[in-house]
Structure 1
């Protein structure tokens, strides 16, 4: 018997209910008080601070020691990949241009104006351009990952979900701070520090800084340049001021900047063995054979002002944000080799992405009721303004620029939104939200040097959309709750720059309808915590990027439909008061549903999809790019109390299954499953004020091809190397 779509979704929801009952029995059967208990987790997934069990969204948090451990080796934001269910992060541009995927749903576009269906929000301000999304993680209060459409309460392009960072805030309570220093393989140095300084009984300041360095350790064997690539120097600063004159008004001012200099992504020609997805025999990760230049420079500055007024029955919020990018330049040898190899390099290609200037302004006004009864609500207005100029340069083998294309994009967006919560009873709360968004883009070519572009020089896009969500949370008992949610999302049209063979392209707006249900529980007298969610979504007109194929161009297209479904689970708890474990897993299935859609095939790979009469690859039925079916994470910490402190051992492991690099499927361009592990042994004393530790990241020295360039040869790039290091932390 064939089930209807709605029947399947109802069965998925009903499958959760027995788990709720089982969790209730476990909780009721536990009467003894345990000495090791988990802290209550609060999140702001619904723009209010709430207990994570009360929020009808699949959400994970990363904070405190877990965040410190994964960042100990000087990693950038890509380190979040696989650390929570359904989250993947990758980049073909290195540390400064991350691409996020939630539940397999993301965007592999590497163009300077690329938009993504995962929104990154830093201190309540949307970071729209992918370069802004790479701002380093330091002095953070917490990280939240919200899975599924968040289009009602958050400002920009959130149909897949939201990654939300919140900096540690200034406080009037007293002087405090910390310093964190580590040194690891390849002279990788990571220095982080923060200080909170009350300036009066109304003003406080918090200063945070990050310094990161890694020596070049990859040699260019073709040019006989030892240890000349893959290093970086980066620093970022943030200064915040808190003004709190009374109990009704609060003002928080934030100024931040980032400077990054180092290698761009290293493209390695023909590192994939023909007919397999293995490395070629004799591959050496510390050698490259390129005749092109490689470097990356980035400067960003920004600031925000967050104001709040307590007016008695309601609270009023104003969030003003400004972000800018100056003189971004990322240059690399796209063919990954030289005329003599390695392997066959048919023709040289060296390019640079440039972004001379970007400015982004955003403003949100929000009013929120104070919970005085069964009904609570919030409503607001949102405005977004972006003006950017960016493009690409081409170079000849001698290193001289041969052509340049620069385009300008002006993006204006506005929205009005509202959300209502109603407590039907002490156990049942229902929530509903509605948002109207209008998005306008004007895109034009402003510079074309030594190149003839096809098509018009400018294009205009104008789209508006209503989004909504409806959810319910039922409290089975004080420790267990279940929820169900239906939500829609919207991503505004995206625009791609023109080339000599492809005109300016516009991918129409995409929309998603998502169904989700889940259970969240505190177990064993709060010695353990568990959550489980199931979901099913349909994306209409999904924006996809055709990258390469048989030429060095990108083109935006729409797929008629994409389907996704999956399950996510998290469990953490104390086995004993000194032994804590945590594990999570997700299964994400994605499928492109468009029989009419085809793309150009690669030059040298083994395509496994059907080829149509025009010689193009039919991608109907394929998974989305960079969408692993399985993501699994596990960690364990064992503490040994001593007279003056604590000795501890901690290990963490993440696994993702194989991924497709492109829209078509090819033997060589399927990334193998990858497992990476970390180890940390340390000692803390003085009540945890000081800690010294030895650590390792990617301790098994796993090497994997994580992405590729497909138009010329079997060029690929790889994951981060193994690191061993030491770390010292102190607080005051």
Structure 2
């Protein structure tokens, strides 16, 4: 199989030139006027496609921006650094930096296939990133991150029944300014990030942003065969934006971006879980592995967008055109060990059979187009509506490197939608909102193989789906006073049918479309002379025909199923405080309870002797090639759905006599235990995880320069964060402690 190419010379040159330009001296501008540090600054969001104060939006929205983003991303972190940093958000991956999986209010998808659809949509600069590989694009030069919880089936529409994670890059301006940030830490973890506005003159302005991240391989192989070192990476990304503003009635923002990743897939380690517990085995060493296969990963992604805006008096027309392409390749030693029962020696522990596979996308292309008309007149009535088009195609290639089998699955996905939303103020205090969207979604898939005898084709190799759905939402908010609102929101969401292609270990499977109905009550307030801000919500939702991926088991299957009903409910809050001068505190938390409600729902459980806590309805029987028991999972919680999530940050400033400042910043995130799979077992229940960071720095020259030292995962807590259940007690872990330094300069 032809592998994805390595970093191409022209793109490497562009990235190198970008960073070189960032360090080139430019005219230093006077720093912008400093905001009043004795009050909390207003938070402006676009959660409902309009610019609004966060307290006025009748929806649970969390926003992260500015210094907090910079701190959390210290030490070369990828997008997973957001996990647990806002209520009800969890992010995990079995692919490392390339394929993050998002969960909001416990609702997500564990599917690792390259055509997996997710119920959490990621929107980057107004363009949906549909394929899960696209969702790992690095976070740099970003103005804000918004996490919008609950169904967003009207204004965002596509695959948003759990919510939306929305990124907005810093836009170009005519100010000749920018920044450069350099950091270095353990394992030669180095990051260079920067951006600056290009002085084009006239009606044009442009902004060039880039990030380069590197980490040495720090895990060594105890075996002489296979990959000898892993867990390092070279991750490079660049974004060029150009803004054309010839008049007050028209603007055009163009965006071209690229990412090149060469690194390591998720490192699977055989038998690292102690049988009968969810503890790591005695003597476990995170810096050692024992594999005999190849671990490698490469990714190339390029995209662009055009966001046009016409101010036509009482209405504004938006046209958003996007194109995205991505070519990933990932190969790994899936059994996590060396040798097997028929090929001694073997280890660590018992290895029934060896597995080494790779996956890749070829010819990927995603096109999207949105036309949205928005009222611009003032008054009690405001509205917006539009048309959305989506067209995606690609070929998935999967290869078993230990047998002569390569499968190729071509998938196309075409969808369109019309939508509208209305805001109406019954009075200055009582306000209503509502929206409606109609979506049609079609998929076609065809699978071929180099060895048809080994392909599980009994359920066919071709599939077609055609789904249509109306979604709606309605909300009401009431202002208790000018600083406090209460609201109620009803909303629905929709995810179209999914197709799992036929493969070596599983036949083709389809999952019917799922929909969700949600109800939310919330309150938002600023108080204590704007030194405190609180938002809180209580919610419940019911999912009908939730799409689930039954992964693994002794038969190594990967098939789609539907749960008749899933229920979830919970509470969440965000609190910001300025309790005393020079101290800023933030505190967030959530409680999520999720349950399958389907008495007939069953899956194949682990094939490696794990300790099951579910009712077994059909035991394992190796004599007929049934290597794992079948269990009922009614009443189980959703996988990777922690019941409790909490986070806290604290920043204390020590001003100096000359107007500079020292500061200390600490941040902590907690999630309670999670189940890795649909079934419930002792070994595959991940322990609670608490990760904290500490940063101390000095800021001088009116805020233009900053030097800091930082520690990530300060307690060096090591946890199993996921598993492979068909072979042995294989797992993977979180990153260990990282210590480093950072320098940042504003120009």
TM-score, normalized by length of structure 2? 0.92
Query: Aligned equivalents of 1:613 and 1:130: distance in 2?
Result: 34
Asked if structure 1 preserves the Cα contact closer than 8 Å seen for 2:225 and 2:291, the reply is no
Q: Deviations over 1:423-455 (max 9, x none)?
A: 000001100000000000011114444633313
Q: What does residue 705 of structure 1 align with? A: 720
Asked if structure 2 preserves the Cα contact closer than 8 Å seen for 1:395 and 1:402, the reply is yes
Asked if structure 2 preserves the Cα contact closer than 8 Å seen for 1:155 and 1:382, the reply is no
Aligned residues: 693
Q: What does residue 33 of structure 2 align with? A: none
Asked if structure 1 preserves the Cα contact closer than 8 Å seen for 2:262 and 2:298, the reply is yes
Cα drift, residue 357 of structure 1: 2.3
Asked if structure 1 preserves the Cα contact closer than 8 Å seen for 2:586 and 2:650, the reply is yes
| Residue 455 of structure 2 is aligned to residue 452 of structure 1 | yes
Moved more, 450-459 or 111-120: 450-459
Query: Aligned equivalents of 1:171 and 1:201: distance in 2?
Result: 12
Query: Aligned equivalents of 1:224 and 1:443: distance in 2?
Result: 38
SS, match of residue 338 in structure 2: coil
Query: Aligned equivalents of 1:621 and 1:260: distance in 2?
Result: 41
Q: What does residue 487 of structure 2 align with? A: 483
SS, match of residue 612 in structure 1: strand
Asked if structure 1 preserves the Cα contact closer than 8 Å seen for 2:564 and 2:598, the reply is yes
SS, match of residue 695 in structure 1: strand
Q: What does residue 443 of structure 1 align with? A: 445
Query: Aligned equivalents of 1:116 and 1:578: distance in 2?
Result: 42
2:419 paired residue among 408, 417, 430:
417
The root-mean-square deviation of aligned C-alpha atoms, in Å, is: 1.2
Please list, as runs of the form range in 1=range in 2, the aligned pairs for 1:643-658 lying within 5 A after superposition: 643-644=657-658, 645-658=660-673
Q: What does residue 463 of structure 1 align with? A: 467
Asked if structure 1 preserves the Cα contact closer than 8 Å seen for 2:405 and 2:449, the reply is no
| Residue 310 of structure 2 is aligned to residue 320 of structure 1 | no
| Residue 349 of structure 2 is aligned to residue 343 of structure 1 | yes
Cα drift, residue 613 of structure 1: 4.0
Query: Aligned equivalents of 1:643 and 1:226: distance in 2?
Result: 55
Asked if structure 2 preserves the Cα contact closer than 8 Å seen for 1:222 and 1:291, the reply is yes
Q: What does residue 272 of structure 1 align with? A: 273
Q: Deviations over 1:473-520 (max 9, x none)?
A: 111111101110000000011110102453221110000000001000
SS, match of residue 69 in structure 2: helix
SS, match of residue 736 in structure 2: coil
Moved more, 495-504 or 475-484: 495-504
Q: What does residue 27 of structure 1 align with? A: none
Please list, as runs of the form range in 1=range in 2, the aligned pairs for 1:673-684 lying within 5 A after superposition: 673-684=688-699
Cα drift, residue 227 of structure 1: 6.7
Cα drift, residue 600 of structure 1: 0.7
Moved more, 193-202 or 51-60: 193-202
SS, match of residue 636 in structure 1: strand
SS, match of residue 575 in structure 2: strand
2:634 paired residue among 614, 620, 624:
620
Q: What does residue 231 of structure 1 align with? A: 232
Query: Aligned equivalents of 1:601 and 1:632: distance in 2?
Result: 31
Asked if structure 1 preserves the Cα contact closer than 8 Å seen for 2:157 and 2:493, the reply is no
| Residue 376 of structure 2 is aligned to residue 370 of structure 1 | yes
Cα drift, residue 222 of structure 1: 1.6
| Residue 138 of structure 2 is aligned to residue 136 of structure 1 | yes
Query: Aligned equivalents of 2:451 and 2:372: distance in 1?
Result: 46
Unaligned segments of structure 2, at least 5 residues: 1-35, 340-345, 620-628
Cα drift, residue 53 of structure 1: 0.8
Query: Aligned equivalents of 1:104 and 1:96: distance in 2?
Result: 22
Query: Aligned equivalents of 1:528 and 1:367: distance in 2?
Result: 36
Q: What does residue 25 of structure 1 align with? A: none
Q: What does residue 13 of structure 2 align with? A: none
Cα drift, residue 552 of structure 1: 2.6
Please list, as runs of the form range in 1=range in 2, the aligned pairs for 1:476-555 lying within 5 A after superposition: 476-555=480-559
Query: Aligned equivalents of 1:235 and 1:360: distance in 2?
Result: 21
Query: Aligned equivalents of 2:717 and 2:229: distance in 1?
Result: 23
Cα drift, residue 551 of structure 1: 2.5
User: Which stretches of structure 1, 4 residues or longer, exceed 4 Å deviation after superposition?
Assistant: 224-227
Moved more, 102-111 or 385-394: 385-394
Asked if structure 2 preserves the Cα contact closer than 8 Å seen for 1:73 and 1:188, the reply is yes
1:609 paired residue among 611, 614, 620:
614
Q: What does residue 3 of structure 2 align with? A: none
Moved more, 641-650 or 421-430: 641-650
Query: Aligned equivalents of 2:225 and 2:393: distance in 1?
Result: 43
Moved more, 72-81 or 492-501: 492-501
Q: What does residue 584 of structure 2 align with? A: 580
Query: Aligned equivalents of 2:484 and 2:287: distance in 1?
Result: 51
SS, match of residue 67 in structure 1: helix
Q: Against the structure 1 CA distance between its residues 113 and 226, is the aligned structure 2 distance closer, same or farther, given a 3 Å change threshold?
A: closer
Query: Aligned equivalents of 2:40 and 2:203: distance in 1?
Result: 34
Q: What does residue 23 of structure 1 align with? A: none
Query: Aligned equivalents of 1:427 and 1:118: distance in 2?
Result: 32
Unaligned segments of structure 1, at least 5 residues: 1-33
Q: What does residue 643 of structure 2 align with? A: 629
Q: What does residue 163 of structure 2 align with? A: 161
Query: Aligned equivalents of 1:273 and 1:544: distance in 2?
Result: 28
Q: What does residue 207 of structure 2 align with? A: 206
